[in-house]
Amino acid sequence: MTILITGGCGFIGRHVAEELLQSGYEVRVLDALIDQVHADAELVVPEGAEVIRGDVRDKDAVRAALANVDGVIHLAAEVGVGQSMYEIARYVSCNDLGTAVLLEAMIGMPVRKIVVASSMSVYGEGLYLTGDGRRLGYVRRRSHHIKRGQWDPLGPDDEPLTPVATDEEKPVDLASIYALTKYAQEKQVLIFGEAYGLDAVALRLFNVFGAGQALSNPYTGVLANFGSRLANRQPPMIFEDGKQRRDFVHVRDVARAFRLALEKPAASGHVINIGSGLAYSIADVAMLLADAMGVPEIAPDIMNKARSGDIRNCFADISKARELLGFEPKYHLENSLAPFVDWVRQTGAIDRGAEMKRQLEERGLVS
């Protein structure tokens, strides 16, 4: 069986390709190899994968890549909440138009399955409970609260709320252009699958980490940003007070989840969370990484400023992934940092965190 991976030369894509090749699949990759992701890193392609350089918005390139393909894993996308708030046309074009071009090119092709990478960002704030145990699916922080440093969201009567693991029943609440494009991607794929009789699955990925991330891209994952700063003996920059909580899932677990989504018929038509099922405060993550990198004395820079599009808490309930995919995380942040640290040391990361902060501040996206 031949699988096309769009964006397959990226961080997640390379691991997905390795997972599929090791499981006996034929793998073809379509990747535009954009500078923001690949400029400062040596291109690593899994042995045995066929690589086509091309943009997912180029219909001719996409149709050529789809020839004799049985399934598609669609990863090609611009990634980054902050950057999406000012490079709007770029994000909408690549993520949403790119998905539309891919799906249109698939019409009449013998592709039987497509799995798309969505994002936890579509939830906005995660799930919260009131003091009496009621679920609140729509929770948003008020700007006047944020400006005075009230970072945690409050209930309808300004009562404190308790963040809990977010399941797929939590309503979507889009807080950034990036989130909007990821939701459009997953809806396009699921609607297309139903209309054309394809098995279609959307995996909502939480914060993915592991060796191989683009360390010099300040809009990539949190851990890569922190690693780049620490490698240059600079403190990790943390917006707000550092107590916001996220779920960190290892890239190898994510790669396995994509293979399972291809193989499990029960997953068809579903959106499924892929995370570790654990919650970590961002400040704790920064200190954990500093310790692993041998620089525990470098404390994070807690900026006590908010970035537009950010949310406070979101971590995954992975019950559905366990039920439909048989998915179980094998790697956790506490015991999986050594390969990532080795990668940071070998790569020679260029720290562009200050540049990212300046770009956001110039546009009034930090308050």
DSSP 191-255: HHHHHHT-EEEEEEE-EEE-TT--TT-TTS-HHHHHHHHHHTT-PPEESTTS--EE-EEEHHHHH
Mean predicted confidence (pLDDT) in 44-49: 82
Is pLDDT at 349 greater than 90 in this prediction? no
Is pLDDT at 36 greater than 70 in this prediction? no
Convert the pLDDT of each residue in 196-236 to its tens digit: 999 999 999 999 999 888 775 555 678 888 988 998 899 99
Domain boundaries of the chain, sorted by first residue: 2-361
Predicted confidence band of residue 168 (pLDDT cuts 50, 70, 90): very high
Q: Which of 77-91, 100-114, 229-243, 268-282 has the lowest mean pLDDT?
A: 77-91
Q: Which of 34-48, 222-236, 314-328, 333-347 has the lowest mean pLDDT?
A: 34-48
Q: Active site includes 178?
A: yes
Longest dimension (CA), the chain: 59
Token pair 């005075």 is found at: 148
Convert the pLDDT of each residue in 268-295 to its tens digit: 999 999 999 999 999 999 999 999 999 9
Is pLDDT at 38 greater than 50 in this prediction? no
Q: What is the pLDDT of residue 360?
A: 61
Q: Which of 116-130, 205-219, 227-241, 307-321 has the lowest mean pLDDT?
A: 205-219
Could you give the strand order of the β-sheet that contains 271-274, starting from the edge strand earlier in sequence?
Answer: 50-53, 26-31, 2-6, 71-74, 113-119, 199-205, 271-274
Q: What is the pLDDT of residue 80?
A: 81
Give the span between the Cα atoms of 46 and 15, in whole angstroms. 8
Strand 280-281 with 245-246, pairing = antiparallel
Q: What is the pLDDT of residue 220?
A: 60
Active-site residue, from 25, 91, 123, 178: 178
Percent helix / strand / coil, the chain, rounded to 5: 40, 20, 45
Is pLDDT at 310 greater than 50 in this prediction? yes
Tell me the fold of 2-361: Rossmann fold (3.40.50)
Give the span between the Cα atoms of 231 and 233, in whole angstroms. 5
Q: What is the pLDDT of residue 212?
A: 85
**299: alpha, beta or left? (left if phi > 0; alpha if psi -120 to 50):** beta
Average pLDDT of the residues of the chain: 91
Token pair 């290892």 is found at: 250
* DSSP summary character for residue 166: B
Strand 135-136 with 127-129, pairing = antiparallel
Is pLDDT at 41 greater than 70 in this prediction? no
pTM: 0.92
- pLDDT over 70 percentage in the chain: 90
Amino acid at 201: V
Q: What is the pLDDT of residue 261?
A: 98
